């Protein structure tokens, strides 16, 4: 008898099965996580069921009493692609060695509960990787180009073989990847140029201890080779302390010593007395070794110890005897004596702008003359070489000054034509000071019709989509002028080119209103910026902070 197939019934049955599978709820269980997972940090599941949102609060797993993590997915999903994170994509799961993994997959009709194990996180070192990569960041300059770099270790009986030779990337970086043998927990090794007779050393050619590494702690380590035992660097074996300057009032017959952690800080130890070389300079020679020397200079006891230019105690000097060669020392002043002993000091201007008028008179104006910009007593003279100079009486304390051509309208400015802060010195800082003048405020270098402003640095918390505006005096200080919005260079720096208006421009930078104007790093108001035209065609600025952030 011929059986009749009921097509509508089969279709109905298949549809019912599909409906039941889409209504089934599946529970996700995470049975193990990496040992270095931060304690208490939440774990999320993300996938095609939540548009791959890595930190969706609805999909945070719950830690149960059995130390497993659980979440039950809502019904209505069939095939599911998913991954685990700790809240964002920088913390997404990786494989046991920290490499990318494919999306996990499941079908809700296949099981009620699906077990998972997370092997590592993207932002943390893998802790159970069965292999280790050693990257050699630096080798000595005297390493022969054609020599191989190979590993001598407890895995090859300390005799490098072909498998122990490092490889080289396209950028020239050397590396080697080592598979962990069964039952081996630690790698003990040295880097060589083919054998232990040419193994790595310290920077002086001395043999170094074996390196050690525990498998499973990290998948990659970076090392540097300081030297080779068969190719020691030709570095001096002694370190020289050389006094390049003493105060002029130093008594000529007084010996000079250094007291240090080498001699229990004895201030007049004759074993640590400076001697004079053939050029009359005071020096002391020390053997090179791994030691941080702390010291001060004296003339025989602590009442004659060196101090700063104002007569105050200074911190101990420090010299690393392992790395130093010749250390030049300057003594500013002695505790038992006054200033350096000079009555006058000299300031020389050896370069002025080419636009400086031929017979221009230069003046110094500062705290010592009530900031008078053109006082005859403080006029510079010219020496035989045509340089401007002035001698000033030495006083005590600090002082500030600027250089002018007789008025504040003709004062010095920087290469961009902007005002510069006053020079600041102590009267004991120098005997002769040499300066150069970049530009004069009243004499632009050239005629300019436009200028470009580039902002090299903006605060890190600047909203990505916010526009940046120029708020200048020539538009009535409008902080959100649509004609004065900065564009962007290819490297992301804000840039704006404007036509010049008059001789100068006062301005500030905003993000579209005075409540967003730039301020200093402490959130305080700053003075208007001033830009003088005719000096530089491109000006570079930095913004420390916004008023509202």
For residue 15, what is the enclosing H or E element? helix 7-23
CA-to-CA dists, residue 410 to 357, 363, 376, 406, 534, angstroms:
12, 10, 16, 7, 15
Report which of 83, 95, 167 is spatially closest to residue 130, judged by C-alpha positions: 95
Average pLDDT, the chain: 88
pLDDT value for 338:
66
High-pLDDT (> 70) share of the chain, %: 93
- Tell me the mean pLDDT in the region 406-422: 90
Q: Are strands 344-351 and 432-436 parallel, antiparallel or unpaired?
A: parallel
Question: Helix, strand, coil proportions of the chain in percent (round to 5)?
Answer: 10, 40, 55
- Give CA–CA dist 315/336, Å, rounded: 17
Q: 420: alpha, beta or left, given left = phi > 0 and alpha = psi -120 to 50?
A: beta
Specify the higher pLDDT residue, 77 or 149.
Answer: 149
Would you say residue 494 has pLDDT above 50?
Answer: yes
Question: Can you list the pairs that 371-380 forms with residues at least 24 positions away whose Cβ atoms lie under 8 Å?
Answer: 373/402, 373/404, 373/406, 373/407, 373/408, 373/411, 374/404, 374/406, 374/407, 380/349
C-alpha 449/C-alpha 499 separation (Å) is 6
101-110, 465-474, 488-497: lowest mean pLDDT where?
101-110
pTM of the model: 0.35
Which tens digit of pLDDT belongs to each residue from 214-235? 887 777 889 999 889 888 766 6
More confident residue, 528 or 446: 528
Q: What is the pLDDT of residues 459-469, one digit of tens each?
A: 999 999 999 99
13 pLDDT above the threshold of 70: no
Residue 181 pLDDT: 87
Q: Are 514 and 526 in contact (CB under 8 A)?
A: no
Cα 352 from Cα 443, distance rounded (Å): 12
Instruction: Specify the pLDDT at position 525.
Output: 95
Q: Please tell me the predicted confidence (pLDDT) of residue 162.
A: 87
Cβ pair 278, 265 in contact under 8 A = no
Q: How far is CA 187 from CA 53, 80, 211, 217, in A?
A: 41, 42, 8, 12
Q: Burial, 200: exposed, middle or buried (Cβ in 10 Å; 0-12, 13-18, 19+)?
A: buried
48 CB-near residues (< 8 Å, 6+ apart): 80, 81, 82
| 3 state DSSP class of 484 | helix
Q: Which residue has the tokens 């001033």?
A: 530
- Greatest mean pLDDT among 62-66, 142-146, 339-343, 527-531 lies in 62-66
> DSSP assignment of 403-461, as one string?
EESSSGGGBEE-TTS---PPEEEETTS-SEEEEE--EETTB-SS--SEEEEEEEE--TT
d(CA 420, CA 46): 56
**Is-contact 335 307, C-beta < 8 A?**
yes
Looking at residue 21, what is its pLDDT?
Answer: 46
**For residue 492, pLDDT beyond 90:** yes
What tens digit of pLDDT does each residue of 341-389 get?
556 788 999 999 998 998 899 999 999 999 999 999 899 988 767 889 8
253-300: per-residue pLDDT in tens? Answer: 899 999 999 999 999 999 999 999 877 889 999 988 889 999 999 999
Phi, psi of 169 (to 5 degrees): -75, 170
Could you give the CA distance from residue 386 to residue 349 in angstroms, rounded to a whole number? 10
d(CA 55, CA 145): 50
CA 63, CA 60: separation in Å to the nearest integer?
A: 10
**How is residue 222 annotated by DSSP?**
E
Summarize pLDDT for 15-61 with one digit per residue, the tens. 444 444 455 789 999 999 998 999 999 999 999 999 999 999 999 99
Residue 378 is classified by DSSP as G
Chain position carrying tokens 């402003």:
453
Over residues 445-457, mean pLDDT: 87
- Average pLDDT of the residues in 424-445: 90
Out of 6-10, 511-515, 530-534, which region has the weakest mean confidence (pLDDT)? Answer: 6-10
Mean pLDDT of 302-328: 91
Supply the DSSP string of 245-307, one letter for each residue. E--TTS-TT---EEEETTTTT-TT-GGGB-EE-TTS-EEEEEE--S-EEEEEEESSSGGG-EE
The pLDDT of residue 111: 78
Residue 379 tokens, joined: 């006029």
CA pair distance 157, 195, nearest whole angstrom: 12
Residue 11 confidence (pLDDT) above 50: no
The answer to whether the CB of 459 falls within 8 A of the CB of 546 is yes
Domains assigned to the chain = 12-121 (2.60.40.10), 131-228 (2.60.40.10), 238-334 (2.60.40), 344-440 (2.60.40.10), 450-546 (2.60.40.10)
């Amino acid at each position: 008898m011929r059986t009749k197939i009921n097509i509508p019934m089969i279709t109905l049955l298949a549809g019912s099965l599909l409906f039941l599978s889409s209504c089934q709820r599946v529970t996700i269980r995470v049975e193990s996580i990496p040992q270095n997972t931060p304690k208490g940090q939440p774990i999320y599941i993300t996938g095609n069921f939540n548009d791959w949102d890595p930190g969706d609060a609805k999909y945070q797993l719950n830690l149960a009493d059995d130390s497993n993590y659980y979440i039950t997915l809502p019904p209505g999903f069939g095939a599911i692609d998913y991954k685990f994170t700790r809240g964002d994509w920088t913390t997404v799961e990786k494989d046991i060695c920290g490499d990318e993994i494919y999306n996990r997959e499941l079908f809700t009709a296949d099981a009620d509960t699906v077990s998972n194990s997370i092997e590592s996180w993207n932002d943390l070192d893998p802790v159970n990787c069965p292999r280790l990569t050693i990257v050699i960041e630096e080798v000595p300059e005297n390493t022969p180009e054609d020599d191989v770099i190979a590993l001598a270790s407890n895995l090859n009986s300390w005799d490098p073989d072909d498998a122990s030779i490092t490889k080289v990337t396209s950028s020239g970086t050397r590396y080697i990847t080592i598979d962990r043998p069964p039952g081996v927990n630690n790698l003990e090794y040295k880097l060589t140029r083919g054998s232990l007779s040419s193994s790595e050393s310290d920077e002086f050619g001395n043999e170094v201890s074996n390196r050690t590494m525990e498998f499973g702690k990290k998948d990659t380590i970076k090392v540097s080779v300081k030297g080779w035992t068969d190719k020691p660097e030709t570095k001096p074996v002694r370190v020289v302390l050389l006094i390049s300057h003493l105060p002029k009032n130093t008594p000529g017959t007084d010996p000079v010593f250094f007291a240090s952690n080498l001699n229990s800080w004895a201030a007049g130890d004759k074993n640590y007395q400076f001697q004079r070389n053939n050029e009359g300079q005071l020096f002391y020679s020390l053997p090179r070794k791994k030691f941080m020397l702390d010291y001060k200079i004296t003339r025989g006891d602590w009442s004659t110890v060196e101090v700063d230019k104002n007569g105050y105690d200074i911190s101990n000097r420090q010299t690393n005897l392992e790395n130093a060669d010749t250390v030049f020392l300057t003594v500013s002043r002695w505790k038992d004596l006054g200033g350096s002993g000079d009555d006058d000091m000299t300031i020389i201007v050896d370069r002025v702008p080419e636009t400086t008028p031929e017979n221009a008179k230069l003046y110094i104006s500062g705290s010592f003359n009530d900031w008078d910009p053109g006082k005859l007593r403080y006029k510079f003279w010219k020496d035989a070489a045509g340089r401007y100079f002035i001698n000033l009486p030495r006083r005590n304390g600090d002082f500030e000054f600027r250089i002018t051509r007789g008025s504040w309208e003709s004062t010095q400015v920087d290469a961009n034509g902007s005002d510069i802060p006053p020079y600041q010195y102590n009267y004991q800082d120098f005997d002769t000071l040499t300066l150069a003048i970049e530009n004069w405020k009243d004499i632009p270098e050239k005629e300019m019709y436009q200028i470009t402003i580039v902002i090299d640095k903006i605060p890190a918390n600047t909203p990505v989509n916010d526009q940046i505006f120029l708020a200048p005096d020539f538009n009535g200080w409008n902080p959100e002028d649509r004609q004065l919005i900065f564009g962007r260079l290819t490297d992301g720096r804000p840039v704006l080119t404007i036509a010049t208006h008059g001789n100068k421009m006062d301005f500030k930078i905003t993000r579209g209103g005075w409540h967003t104007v730039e301020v200093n790093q402490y959130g305080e108001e700053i003075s208007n910026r001033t830009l003088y035209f005719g000096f530089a065609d491109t000006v570079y600025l930095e913004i420390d902070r916004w008023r509202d952030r």
